[in-house]
Amino acid sequence: MNFKRAKAKVKRIRQERTLLGVYAVAVTTALLVYVYNNNSVRASLPDDEELVEIIPEDTAYEDAFSLEDDLRLAEDEAKAPQTVEIEDLPKEAEVAEDMLTLKALGVNEEDVKVEKGDSFIGILTKMGLEYAEATNIYTAYKKVYDARKVKVGQVLHISSLTDSKYNDAISITKIMTEPVSGTRYIVEKNADGKYEARTEQDDLTEEIKVVSGTINGTVGGSMKVAGVPNNIVGNFINIFSYSVDLRRDVRAGDKFEVKYEQNLAPNGNVVKTGDIIYAELTLGKVKTALYRFKDSSGTVDYYDEKGQALKKSLDRKPLEYKKARVSSKFGTRFHPILKQYRMHSGVDYAAPQGTKVYASGDGTVTKAKWVNGYGNYVTIRHNSEYSTGYGHLKAYAKGIRPGVRVKQGQVIAYVGSTGRSTGPHLHFEVIRNGKKVDPLKIKAATGESLSGEKLKAFKKVVAQINNAGATETKVASKKDDAVANTGNIASNTGDTIAN
Ligand SMILES: [Zn+2]
C-alpha cells in the first residue's frame, strides 16, 4: 500500500513541479520564503549505500518498505524520461514552487500513541513521510534514543509541516517522546535541514517513601495492594526470610511498614526506586523493626534499633533438596555398620549424591577436611554460642576452607557418602557451647551486634530514618486512601504511620 501510494505521490509532485515552472518567472516576491527551503518537498530517493547503512539488520519494519521496494522504485524513477528532474528546474522556478507549496502547508502538532504492530518508521511513513526521510530521522534519533524500543501505548509528540491538500506530513520538524517520566528524547530539524537529537533530563528529587498496611493474605500480596513496587516487595521479603517463616508465622491483621528511597521527576512521577532503609513487621504483638546500615568497610546489613543484627535462625535442613527426609534422628541408636548402640550426634538427611549443602547460618568456616567416621567434613562457627557440622560430603564447594566467611544459604559442599556411611546423606550437627545438641530442637539465633564507632554512626542513621518517616506522612496517607479505594485491605487505618 505505502509503496504504491508513495510512488504515486512522487509522480504527482513532479507533475506539479513541471507546471509550476511555467509560472515561475512571473513571481518576484519569492525570496521571502527562501528560509523555508529546507521544509520543502524532497522527492528524491536515497542511493543504495545509504539505505544499506541505515536499516538496522535485526528489525523488520512491517509498515515500511522493504529494501527491494526502494531499490526498484529508485530504478523506475531513473528510467522515467517524461518528467523534468527537480535539479533541472531554473532557480527561480524552484523558489516560486516553494512559495506556492507553502501556501498549502500547515504546521501540525499531534500526539501519536504507539499501537500494536506499529514501528517507528511505520508510523512516520503512515503519516505520509518518505521512507528515506523516516529512516534519516530514525538514524539521527538513534544517537540518543533507539526508536525501535517504542512500546505500545508510548506517545510520540510529532510536529510536522503538512500538505493540507493531501493531508500528508511532508516534513517532520520535531519528535519528542518521554518513555520514562523526566527524561525526554528529542529529534529536531535544524536550520540546515538536518536532524539533530538531544536528551532533556529533569532534575530528580530523592525522597523517602513510606508505605504501611495490614496484612490480608500473603505479606507480598498485601504490600503490592498497598502500592509497593515489586522490587521493594522482593527485598522486604528477603530481609525477613531467615528470621520469620513468612508462610506460617504471619496471620491476617498483622502489619507491615516499609521506608524506601525513590527518585521523582518534577511532575511528581516516580522514576526509580532505591534501597529499603527501614523494614518493619508486626506479628501479633511482636514488632520487628530493622534499619539499613552500611558500615565503614562497606558492609550493608539490617539491624534493630539497638544495633543488633537481624537475628537469623539456623537453617535446620541446610539442603537444596527440601524434600529430603530424616533417615536417622539425634540420640542413641543401633549403628547399622558398627552393629552396636551408639550416640548419634546429629541428624541424617537422605538426599541424592551431589545435592547442594548450604551454610545453616552466617559464619566462618572452621574445618573443611577428612575426619575419620565423618569422611569429608565441614564445620562453621556462627557466633560464640553456636557452630554447625556437615559430614559424609562428596566434595567441598569452591573456596570453602578454614577462615572463610560464609552467608546463610551459601553452597558450602555436596552430599556424598564418604566416611562411615551406608548411602548418600547429609549428617548435620549443631554444636552449642561445645556440646552437640539435637538440630531439630534448637531455637538458635546468629548475627553480630554493632559496637564502638560503628554503633555511634548507626545511631545517627536511625535518627535520620525515623525523621524521614515523619515528613512523609502525607504521601503515605495518600497511598492509604488509594488502598482503601481498591477495597482489598479491609482495615487500613489512618494510624499506620509510625513515628
Ligand atoms: Zn549421621
Considering the domain architecture, whether residues 95 and 210 belong to the same structural domain is answered as: no
Which of 201, 232, 260 delimits the end of a domain?
A: 201
CA of 243 to the centre of ligand 1 (A): 27
Considering the domain architecture, whether residues 51 and 188 belong to the same structural domain is answered as: yes
CA of 404 to the centre of ligand 1 (A): 25
Distance CA(85)–CA(75), nearest Å, equals 14
pLDDT band at 89; cut points 50, 70, 90: very low
Residue 415, in any domain of the structure: yes
pLDDT band at 63; cut points 50, 70, 90: very low
pLDDT at 99 over 70: no
Nearest to 439 by CA among 455, 428, 427: 428
pLDDT the model gives residue 338: 78
Q: Is the model more confident about 33 or about 126?
A: 126
CA of 192 to the centre of ligand 1 (A): 82
pLDDT at 342 over 50: yes
Residue 451, in any domain of the structure: no
Residue 85, in any domain of the structure: yes
CA of 361 to the centre of ligand 1 (A): 20
Residue 159, in any domain of the structure: yes
pLDDT the model gives residue 112: 93
The number of helices, as runs of H, and strands, as runs of E, in the chain is: 10, 22
SS3 at position 491? coil
Considering the domain architecture, whether residues 195 and 339 belong to the same structural domain is answered as: no
Residue 351, in any domain of the structure: yes
Residue 411, in any domain of the structure: yes
Which of 93-107, 333-347, 363-377 reaches the highest mean pLDDT? 363-377
Burial 351-375 (b: 16+ CB within 10 A, else e): beeebbbbbbbbbebebbeeeeebb
CA of 207 to the centre of ligand 1 (A): 53
Considering the domain architecture, whether residues 303 and 336 belong to the same structural domain is answered as: no
Considering the domain architecture, whether residues 290 and 142 belong to the same structural domain is answered as: no
CATH number, position 111: 3.10.450.350
The C-alpha cell of 24 is what? 515561475
Question: Which parts of 318-385 are beta strand (E)?
Answer: 325-328, 331-334, 341-344, 347-350, 356-358, 363-371, 375-381
* Residue 88, phi then psi, degrees to nearest 5: -85, -15
pLDDT at 394 over 50: yes
**Parallel/antiparallel/unpaired status of strands 325-328 and 386-396:** unpaired
Which of 148, 183, 201 delimits the end of a domain?
A: 201
Q: Give me the mean pLDDT over the 136-158 stretch.
A: 94
pLDDT at 396 over 90: yes
CB proximity list for 369: less than 8 A, separation 6 or greater: 376, 377
pLDDT the model gives residue 42: 39
Residue 288, in any domain of the structure: yes
CA of 46 to the centre of ligand 1 (A): 78
pLDDT at 467 over 50: yes
pTM of the model: 0.44
Percentage of the residues of the chain whose pLDDT score is greater than 90: 42
CA of 328 to the centre of ligand 1 (A): 7
Considering the domain architecture, whether residues 246 and 342 belong to the same structural domain is answered as: no
Which of 201, 224, 239 delimits the end of a domain?
A: 201
Considering the domain architecture, whether residues 193 and 222 belong to the same structural domain is answered as: no
Percentage of the residues of the chain whose pLDDT score is greater than 70: 69
Considering the domain architecture, whether residues 100 and 27 belong to the same structural domain is answered as: yes
Considering the domain architecture, whether residues 158 and 122 belong to the same structural domain is answered as: yes
pLDDT band at 23; cut points 50, 70, 90: very low
Among 186-195, 333-342, 372-381, 412-421, the least confident range: 333-342
Considering the domain architecture, whether residues 28 and 157 belong to the same structural domain is answered as: yes
CA of 373 to the centre of ligand 1 (A): 10
Task: Please tell me the total count of domains within the chain.
Answer: 3
pLDDT the model gives residue 165: 66
CA of 431 to the centre of ligand 1 (A): 14
pLDDT the model gives residue 299: 74
Q: Is the model more confident about 154 or about 323?
A: 154
pLDDT the model gives residue 35: 37
pLDDT the model gives residue 154: 94
Considering the domain architecture, whether residues 184 and 258 belong to the same structural domain is answered as: no
CA of 345 to the centre of ligand 1 (A): 7
Considering the domain architecture, whether residues 403 and 430 belong to the same structural domain is answered as: yes
Distance CA(58)–CA(365), nearest Å, equals 50
CA of 456 to the centre of ligand 1 (A): 45
CATH number, position 398: 2.70.70.10
Q: Give me the mean pLDDT over the 454-460 stretch.
A: 94
Mean pLDDT, rounded, of the chain: 76
Distance CA(477)–CA(483), nearest Å, equals 10
Cell 524513477 locates to 77
Q: Give me the mean pLDDT over the 167-183 stretch.
A: 83
Domain of 329, in residue numbers:
325-437
Residue 220, in any domain of the structure: yes
CA of 370 to the centre of ligand 1 (A): 15
Q: Are 122 and 64 in contact (CB under 8 A)?
A: yes
Q: Is the model more confident about 318 or about 407?
A: 318
- pLDDT digit string, tens, across residues 251-302: 899 999 999 999 888 878 888 888 999 999 998 888 889 999 998 877 788 8
pLDDT band at 43; cut points 50, 70, 90: very low
CA of 376 to the centre of ligand 1 (A): 13
